[in-house]
Amino acid sequence: MKELEAKIKEIIPMTHNVTSFRVEAEGEIEFKAGQFLQVVLKTMPELKRYLSISNSPTEKGYLEFTKKITESDFCRTLKNLKPGDYLKIRYPFGKFTLDESFYKIAFLSGGIGITPIRSIAKYVVDKNLSTDIVLLYANRTVEDIAFKYDFDQMRKQCPRLKVIHVLSESREAVEYKSGRINAQIIKDSISDYSERKFYLCGPPAMVEAMKNILVTELAVAETSIITENFQGY
């Protein structure tokens, strides 16, 4: 585990309630796409949260984390920070990473659970890996989709990346599926689902529900499922 006194380089609003923070990280910053870090705010007592790294190791010079902004003390302090301010970063942690021997993978995610997936997808695209990816990404409305522009750009660059947005409260355009991620949507969107390794990320209740659908309704082996639980939601 490493510790970094990191200067905030850039703060990027992603949606109405999600913000990305980039901190300077020059030199040898080693992490794998999909891992997470711990942000420690310089308060008394210290406020800290585990957050996934949302950039890819191919994007050099900074580490990015992306926080869903809530009313917590942690978020209130974070929101007041400006470029040039410092915070402490401990990294890297976690095993929600790409196994390059998997030729076909599928990501199932909702809301803020997209952060490590964005990192892995960007890594695959930048490295021009042969990994074939389908992402099913659930949100309430179009306005809640984080990293939409990034994924649109990545899809243009990489024909092996398919992104399907599933919206529970909106029926506005044919490019989106309406409803929630369920067995039927998985079967319709990922016809070769039985050949894929599944990566699930989001709040624990959502991850559990997705896993249940895969195992009990679609007979996907538990060994083909890799999960990351965002404890705290």
Query: For binding to ligand FAD (CB under 6 A), which residues are involved?
Result: 36, 49-52, 66-68, 70, 72, 74-75, 94, 112, 115, 228, 230-233
Residues 6 or more apart whose Cβ sits within 8 Å of residue 89:
3, 4, 6, 23, 25, 37, 38, 39, 40, 63
Q: Is 10 or 192 the residue whose CB approaches ligand FAD more closely?
A: 10
Q: 46 near 133, Cβ under 8 Å?
A: no
Q: What share of the chain is helix, strand, coil (3-state, %, to 5)?
A: 25, 35, 35
Closest separation in Å from C-beta 94 to ligand FAD: 6
Q: Is 67 or 197 the residue whose CB approaches ligand FAD more closely?
A: 67
Q: Is 146 or 190 the residue whose CB approaches ligand FAD more closely?
A: 146
Of 185, 189, 195, whose CA–CA distance to 217 is shortest? 185
Closest separation in Å from C-beta 200 to ligand FAD: 13
Q: Which two tokens stand for residue 125?
A: 């695209």
**Which residue's C-beta sits nearest to ligand FAD?**
232
Distance CA 214, CA 225 (A): 9
Q: Is 74 or 102 the residue whose CB approaches ligand FAD more closely?
A: 74
Closest separation in Å from C-beta 180 to ligand FAD: 21
Closest separation in Å from C-beta 231 to ligand FAD: 4
Q: Which residues of 188-215 are buried (b: 16+ CB within 10 A; e: fewer)?
A: ebbeebeebbbbbbbbeebbebbbebbe
Q: Is 6 or 186 the residue whose CB approaches ligand FAD more closely?
A: 6
Distance CA 137, CA 161 (A): 13
Closest separation in Å from C-beta 168 to ligand FAD: 19
Q: Is 29 or 190 the residue whose CB approaches ligand FAD more closely?
A: 29
Closest separation in Å from C-beta 152 to ligand FAD: 21
Distance CA 16, CA 68 (A): 9
Distance CA 45, CA 54 (A): 27
